[in-house]
Amino acid sequence: MSGRRRAARTLEGIMTLRVLAAMSGGVDSAVAAARAAEAGHDVTGVHMALSSNPKSYRTGARGCCTLEDSRDARRAADVIGIPFYVWDLAERFHEDVVEDFVSEYAAGRTPNPCLRCNEKIKFAALLDRAMALGFDAVCTGHYARLAGGVLRRAVDQGKDQSYVLAVCTPEQLAHSLFPLGDTTKADIRLEAERRGLRVADKPDSHDICFIADGDTRGFLAERLGSARGPIVDTDGNEVGEHDGAYAYTIGQRKGLRLGTPAPDGRPRYVLDISPVTNTVTVGPREALDVREITGERPVWLSEPRAGAFECRVQLRAHGEVHAATAEQDGDVLRVRLAAPARGVAPGQAAVLYEGDRVLASATIAAAARVPA
Amino acid sequence: MVTYLDHAATTPMLPEAVEAMTAELRELGNPSSLHAVGRRARRVVEESREIIAEAFDARPSEVVFTSGGTEADNLAVKGVFWARRAAAPARTRVLVSAVEHHAVLDAAHWLAGQEGARVDWIPVDGAGRVRPEALREALGSGDDVALASVMWANNEVGTVQPVPELAAVARERGVPLHTDAVQAAGTLPVAFATSGAQALTVTGHKLGGPIGVGALLLAKPKEPVFLDPVPLLHGGGQERDVRSGTLDAPAIAGFAAAVQVTAARRDSEARRLAELRDRLVEAVRAAVPDAILNGDPVDRLPGNAHFSFPGCEGDALLMLLDARGIACSTGSACSAGVSQPSHVLTAMGSAADLARGSLRFTLGHTSTEADVKALADALPAAVERARRASS
């Protein structure tokens, strides 16, 4: 960052931006920062410390924010030749992501913490602080294409992260750079190696970064305690017991430990979670079929459309896309699927696409099942 | 052009030290070898030892070379604890001031966790000073105390401790005092013999010598109060069996050269730095009227100015100043680079948010008026911006 350069109001057409590159210590954000610097931007690397008590080392592919990640990010910044700092966002992360995660589960929903982190931390707390400190934009290693305010899927369909970015507002995206959207992950690894970034062969991170051992149920049980309740079938017959309704996800089949087999002997799935009555309802797979979805807090990344329109909708990260008709109805987005979809969980995002372009997103509030 | 205002972190090596060290790097010899080659290296080490002893009013035999301040502090705290407890098992208490460097604090904390020591913190006043009464109270009868450790001058806020008075109080109770004089040794008249301390830490790189060499000045054992520390490092028995390891003749030569130059011009340099520091304090106050100077306003290290900037985060300020080519420090400990509110400011009664909004500016032998001016020019915009970022 140089004090002589004037802050730009919009990113379009500005050759040199003051860019804050969020650097996790992984290969993607390192290459993203390198590309931004190479493009002539004035780049500063920042590693977000999201845990107030970081572990020293990574364990496998899980988790992040260890001291080792912080060191990896610092080394990458050295190699790129940009200043580097660690910003402590642990408190905000805990409040906005970890606590939200727990309370969403407690309310019977299935949150996506990565999405929440983008919405509340990377493109909110981090971006706000960056803007206040004189930066023009935040750059991340997300796989998505962004140009002229239009957010598109990445070229690498398998790595595409437009779904978790679709919750960002146009204002947030106006100050964002995603330099990796036009390249495949395999090529990014090669590029990292070519650039001398030692993180080139670091494993991809998976799962939820703040649950290092991957035991989401145990993590929730620790925080929510156990609350024994009934598991019932669609007729209301008690078929089992649970230690806390929060530990279940709509569409879940494994780990139900049902005492009474289904009359037809077929596997049963979680259909509904009612935190009020602390009841988990299970039933046959077809009962998961959903035709209509109501999405709350819609965010439009294209001109909002009046009336019903055809689109494709994605209902979970790396999930399949469904043909649908959508319509904004007051404060909510109503989405009608052309064919029933299964495992639609309140709390996840419904992201509307036209081809590879993101049109809008909304948080799934309710899903209407197909009448049996 | 970098404006370097972080001399308390490390200060440039003096040309004389570079010269002495590089000359010795070209030479051969293990100072412990018995042949002529070894004797030549030994001579360099012993002459260096004499120079350092003289500069700090110690005897050459009292100088134990270490790898630096951290090792010397650890050797003093752990080693003296082990030795004194072995001599009298009731001595399980360690007294350390609440504003010590982590090399002392964490060594004491380790003793508590691993060795069953009881660590008692000696409180400080609002300026960060340990009052002799506070030490007296913490000592009690002194019978159960292994050692007390109070630094000569604080690395963050620069407050100078009344070491001779504190040593006298400890002596009344038959307790040895260790003092970490790492920050003080370059600019204050640190005199081991008259200080009354039984162990004193100095290091090379804070006074123009190389990084990686330091010394623990250790009084001759004198039962029952003072015993040689139990070593941290066992091996060849160098340094009166207290610190094994091949003596690093080049680093020791560089260290001694820096000590010699520094001692010769200590008083005039201290005056120059204090004047420059006072101008820096004025400039900061003019630029940011509500900035708070931490530490003792008078009795402080000549090169130290430490401020809290209300409504700012120190991290943000540091970054903004860094971008303008100004190097300073938040002065607090880091884990994964995340700064915690300073334990020094917290012990002085500073609120956590104020402690978080603090910066340390430290001057040294290469500092000039231009450094102060550069800071004064850059500071107002940086503070304004940092305030916006944390609001």
Q: Mind listing the pLDDT tens digit for each residue in B214-264?
A: 999 999 988 777 889 999 999 999 999 999 999 999 999 999 999 999 999
B99 and B245 inside one domain: yes
Q: Band the pLDDT of B193: cuts 50, 70, 90.
A: very high
Co-location of B90 and B201 in the same domain: yes
Same domain, B243 and B293: no
pLDDT single digits (tens) B116-151: 999 999 999 999 999 999 999 999 999 999 999 999
Interface residue of B313, B318, B322, B338 to substitute, partner A, most A CBs within 10 Å? B338
pLDDT category of residue B325 using cuts at 50, 70 and 90: very high
- DSSP of A59-91, one letter per residue? BTTB----HHHHHHHHHHHHHHT--EEEEE-HH
End-to-end, the C-alpha distance of chain A in Å comes to 61
Same domain, B228 and B272: no
**What's the complex ipTM?**
0.86
Which pLDDT score is estimated for A52? Answer: 66
- Which has more pLDDT, B325 or A209? B325
Q: Which two tokens stand for residue A8?
A: 């730009």
B389, closest residue in chain A (CA to CA): A132
Q: A88 contacts in B (CB within 8 Å)?
A: 315, 338-339
Q: What is the pLDDT along chain A (372 residues), one digit of tens a residue?
A: 333 344 344 455 667 999 999 999 999 999 999 999 999 999 999 999 887 666 654 444 444 557 788 899 999 999 999 999 998 888 889 999 999 999 988 888 888 898 889 889 999 999 999 999 999 999 999 999 999 999 999 999 999 999 999 999 999 999 999 999 999 999 999 999 999 998 777 777 767 888 877 788 888 888 988 889 999 998 888 988 998 888 888 888 888 878 777 778 888 999 988 888 899 999 988 888 899 999 999 999 999 999 999 999 999 888 899 999 999 999 999 999 999 998 788 889 999 999 999 999 999 998 777 664
Residue-number span of the structural domain to which B82 is assigned: 15-263
Opening angle at CA A345, ends A342 and A349, nearest 5: 110
CATH topology of domain A226-286: SH3 type barrels. (2.30.30)
Of B323, B337, B391, which is closest to A3 when you measure between CB atoms? B323
Q: Are residues B129 and B205 in the same domain?
A: yes
- At B227-238, the pLDDT tens digits run 899 999 999 999
pLDDT for the residue B149 = 98
Stretch B266-285: mean pLDDT: 97
CB A362 within 8 Å of CB A296: yes
Residues B30 and B177 in one domain: yes
Q: Per the confidence metrics, is the pTM higher than 0.95?
A: no
Rounded CA gap, B61 and B46, in Å? Answer: 10
CB distance B184 to B301 below 8 Å: yes
Q: Indicate the residue among B215, B239, B263 that finishes a domain.
A: B263
Q: A290-300 and B118-122: which strand pairing?
A: unpaired
Give me the CATH number covering residue B355: 3.90.1150.10
Within 8 A by CB and 6+ apart from B367, the residues are: B4, B5, B7, B273, B276, B303
Contact criterion met (CB below 8 Å) for B200 and B183: no
Domain ranges in chain A are 18-201, 226-286, 289-369
What is the torsion angle, in degrees rounded to the nearest 10, for the CA atoms of residue A158, residue A159, residue A160 and residue A161?
140
Domain CATH for B55:
3.40.640.10
Q: Which residues of B touch A70 (CB under 8 A)?
A: 336-337
What are B310-323's pLDDT values in tens digits?
A: 999 998 999 999 99
Contacts of B353 in chain A (CB under 8 A): none
The superfamily in CATH containing domain A289-369 is Translation factors (2.40.30.10)
A117 is catalytic: yes
Domain end point (choices B208, B230, B263):
B263
What percentage of chain B carries pLDDT values higher than 90? 91
Which among A3, A86, A133 is the nearest to B338, CB-wise? Answer: A86
Instruction: Collect contacts of A217-225 with beta carbons under 8 A, ≥24 apart.
Output: A217/A247, A217/A255, A220/A102, A220/A105, A220/A244, A220/A246, A220/A247, A221/A247, A223/A102, A224/A102, A224/A105, A224/A106
**CATH fold match for the domains A18-201 and A226-286:** no
Overall domain count for chain B? 2
Residue A67 to residue B319, Cβ atoms within 8 A: no
Choose one of B221, B240, B263: the last residue of a domain: B263
Q: If we measure between CA atoms, which residue out of B221, B70, B88 comes closest to residue B144?
A: B88
pLDDT tens-place string over residues B288-314: 999 999 999 999 999 999 999 999 999
Same domain, B125 and B271: no
pLDDT of residue B282 exceeding 90: yes
Answer yes or no: do B78 and B210 share one domain. Answer: yes
Arch. (CATH architecture) of A18-201: 3-Layer(aba) Sandwich (3.40)
pLDDT digits (tens, 9 = 90+) for B355-379: 889 999 999 999 999 999 999 999 9
